[in-house]
């Protein structure tokens, strides 16, 4: 039966395991966790959701809060994604040490 989720962030982490026996010859069962199946195709989806979940659970953020995070990549994208869904304002700042292309 197909599972129906209440929101897109609930799908984060519901990634399948796939046997990779034809790639790696071994007596052990080797599995790959397909993190690319997350909504933003990144393992960082889990981190972004976990950070917001923990802050909510600990009472550190409440409705309408502003989240400020220094980041240069997928963690920031994941935070922005979860913040948008949960109506938090998200401000991402990239460290000056990062390349302009980043």
- Positions annotated as catalytic residues are 44
Least Cα distance to 72 among 56, 92, 51, 42 occurs for: 92
d(CA 56, CA 23): 42
d(CA 21, CA 30): 6
């Amino acid at each position: 039966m197909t599972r129906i989720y209440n929101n897109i962030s609930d799908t984060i982490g519901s990634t399948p395991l796939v046997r990779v026996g034809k790639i790696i010859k071994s007596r052990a069962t080797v599995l790959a966790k397909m993190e690319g199946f997350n909504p933003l195709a990144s393992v960082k989806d889990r981190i972004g959701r976990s950070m917001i979940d923990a802050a909510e659970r600990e009472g550190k953020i409440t409705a309408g809060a502003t989240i400020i995070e220094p980041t240069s990549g997928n963690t920031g994208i994941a935070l922005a994604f979860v913040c948008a869904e949960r109506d938090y304002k998200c401000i991402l700042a990239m460290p000056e040490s990062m390349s302009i292309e980043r």
